[in-house]
Amino acid sequence: MVRTPVDETSVTGEIPRRADVVIVGAGSAGSVLADALSRDGTRSVLLLEQGSGWPDAAVRDLRTLPIGASSGFVTVHDAPPGQTVVRGRGLGGSSAINGGYFLRWHRDDFAGWPTGWGVDDVETAYRELDESGGPMSVYPFGEDDLGPAARAFERFWSTRVPVREVTDRWPIIGLNRVLGNNAHRLRTTSAEAFLRPALARSNLVVRTGIQVREILMAGQWATGLRATGLRATDLRATGSGGVDTDVACGEVILCAGTLGTAGILLRSIPEVIGTSGVLVAGEHREVLVGYRRRSADDPRPLLPTVVHTDDGIEIRCYSDDFQRYVTGSAGGSQVMGVCGMLHAGPARLSSASGGSVRVRFDDLDESAAAPLWATASDVVDMLASAEFDEVVEPDSISVDPVIRSSQHAFGSLPMGVRTDWLGGVVGVRGLRVVDGSILPSPGRSGPHATIMMMARRIGVALAAGH
């Protein structure tokens, strides 16, 4: 196959003033959707991304989490004191900077989803992403990816809970070796898998460095949007905040991530939000158990193995260097995570300055908090067990008293309630949301694979004329 060469100039330049569909955000969902919708050459698709282009190999290295203040590929949101809330930006969005853990949700996590989301439909869409040799390069982490802690973790749990066959794609209640989306330890981003190949199509235009400020409305109809160029040349041209461009379109599809989409809606259509000025999302809340390890180890993928409990908790065995990315976490050089997946705690999203969003977490109620602390105590016992003798320094284990976030906020505009089964926003014509905002349930695993699966299914359904 002859592939048209694609370079940085393909994603910069003039913004068309009209398109059939404008997609906002080239992240996990937006890249998948842009591919699906531009397969029909008669539909013009414009994809606008605020970040600055293709993350290089240093950013995509799975052994690091490039989310520090100096990273050019994150948006830092307004977090509670002592905590950090970031999201990816640039082509690939959060898929370019995340942990590279690509587990499906459990089959029964889809029980409450609206009509159109039967398990067979879900399975087909997942398989298109995570089959061996598929576009996202999804494979179980291998023995080389496990450090001493992960090996001890698997030894400990394999005698106590069921163990999933590593070749199975559906997770189980028990020990789950994580499936990772990477090739030679470089994250396979949604943009590399879906956008780069589609860029050769003349009906798809991608523009980076463009922040969508607001949606333009005529009554209850979304007719277009206003975007601002964020490139240095634009800033020099105006001497201030960039150049505004209005784009008219038949449909706006927000794929800006739960926080980015909330920011745009808060700025432009307060009636979707309601009088409170706050959108409420779910968040997988996590307790960290820290310890000092006996000896240093090479950097490895950050989350190679987990246990899923029957009460909806994920016990995460992070690899050695996770702690340096987490503001104010427990003392010790390494952490295990205890995360409430099914009892997601509320996160309140409201406006903040400069395109970011203010995120505040409610205290968990007792029924959600108690199992987290009880499981953290089990993890302390695990770390003190014989299996960890060669890993953990004696008397170094401590439980972080703060319940933190997993950087997963989701479900602020759930399908079947505030959006229809294809993300169409209830009460507004010409506006769709396809990203983490529309997940209608929490799920026992991380959201990445499921958000991409959802975008894939919606893209295919829309392309088929639904």
79/397 with CB nearer ligand FAD: 79
CB–CB of 284/312 below 8 Å? Answer: no
Which range touches ligand FAD (CB under 6 A), out of 99-107, 312-320, 375-383, 419-427?
99-107
Q: Which of residues 211-250 bind ligand FAD (CB under 6 A)?
A: 211-212
Structure tokens at 147: 């450090």
- Residue 95 in the binding site for ligand FAD (CB under 6 A): yes
- Residue 286 in the binding site for ligand FAD (CB under 6 A): no
Instruction: Please tell me the distance from the alpha carbon of residue 253 to that of residue 42, in angstroms, as a whole number.
Output: 18
The full 3-state SS of 223-288, as one line of letters, equals EEEEEEECCHHHHHHHCCCCCEEEEEEEEEEECCHHHHHHHHHHHHCHHHHCCCCCEEEEEEEEEE
What is the 3-state composition of the chain as percent helix, strand, coil, each rounded to the nearest 5? 30, 30, 45
Write down the least CB distance from residue 211 to ligand FAD, Å: 4
Instruction: Please tell me the distance from the alpha carbon of residue 69 to that of residue 230, in angstroms, as a whole number.
Output: 19
- Residue 257 in the binding site for ligand FAD (CB under 6 A): yes
161/434 with CB nearer ligand FAD: 434
Write down the least CB distance from residue 365 to ligand FAD, Å: 24
343/408 with CB nearer ligand FAD: 408
Structure tokens at 70: 């100096």
91/403 with CB nearer ligand FAD: 91
342/397 with CB nearer ligand FAD: 342
Write down the least CB distance from residue 404 to ligand FAD, Å: 12
The residues with which 46 forms a beta bridge, in sequence order, are 22, 205
CB–CB of 100/301 below 8 Å? Answer: yes
- Residue 209 in the binding site for ligand FAD (CB under 6 A): no
**Out of 53, 55, 100, 443, the residue judged to bind ligand FAD by CB under 6 A:** 100
Q: Which of residues 40-79 bind ligand FAD (CB under 6 A)?
A: 48-51, 65, 67
Which range touches ligand FAD (CB under 6 A), out of 244-252, 374-382, 397-405, 445-453?
445-453
User: What CA dihedral angle connects 293, 297, 303 and 304, to 10 degrees?
Assistant: -110
Write down the least CB distance from residue 92 to ligand FAD, Å: 7
Instruction: Please tell me the distance from the alpha carbon of residue 438 to that of residue 413, in angstroms, as a whole number.
Output: 5
* Identity of the amino acid at 405: S
Give the residue closest to ligand FAD by C-beta.
27
Structure tokens at 189: 């981003």
Instruction: Please tell me the distance from the alpha carbon of residue 294 to that of residue 392, in angstroms, as a whole number.
Output: 6
- Residue 99 in the binding site for ligand FAD (CB under 6 A): yes
Write down the least CB distance from residue 224 to ligand FAD, Å: 14
* Phi and psi at residue 325, to the nearest 5°: -95, -5
Write down the least CB distance from residue 354 to ligand FAD, Å: 11
Write down the least CB distance from residue 235 to ligand FAD, Å: 16
47/397 with CB nearer ligand FAD: 47
Instruction: Please tell me the distance from the alpha carbon of residue 328 to that of residue 139, in angstroms, as a whole number.
Output: 33
**Out of 10, 28, 44, 176, the residue judged to bind ligand FAD by CB under 6 A:** 28
339/397 with CB nearer ligand FAD: 339
Show the binding pattern over residues 143-182: x = contacts ligand FAD (CB under 6 A), - = does not: ----------------------------------------
**Out of 22, 27, 223, 413, the residue judged to bind ligand FAD by CB under 6 A:** 27
**Out of 148, 282, 371, 447, the residue judged to bind ligand FAD by CB under 6 A:** 447
Instruction: Please tell me the distance from the alpha carbon of residue 313 to that of residue 285, in angstroms, as a whole number.
Output: 10
- Residue 411 in the binding site for ligand FAD (CB under 6 A): no
Residues 6+ apart with CB under 8 A from 9: none
392/459 with CB nearer ligand FAD: 459
* Phi and psi at residue 109, to the nearest 5°: -70, -15
**Out of 411, 436, 442, 443, the residue judged to bind ligand FAD by CB under 6 A:** 436
246/294 with CB nearer ligand FAD: 246
| 169 φ/ψ sector (left φ>0, alpha ψ -120 to 50, else beta) | alpha
**Read out DSSP for 90-148?**
STTGGGGTS--B-PPPPGGGGTTSPTT--HHHHHHHHHHHHSTTSTT-EEE--GGG--H
**Out of 34, 38, 45, 89, the residue judged to bind ligand FAD by CB under 6 A:** 89
- DSSP assigned state of 17: S
CB–CB of 388/293 below 8 Å? Answer: no
247: annotated binding-site residue? no
Give the H or E element holding residue 453: helix 448-463
Q: Which residues bind ligand FAD (CB under 6 A)?
A: 24-30, 48-51, 65, 67, 86-89, 93-95, 97-101, 211-212, 255-257, 260, 264, 303, 355, 407-408, 435-436, 446-448, 451
Q: Which residues are annotated as a binding site for FAD?
A: 212
Q: Which residues are annotated as a binding site?
A: 212
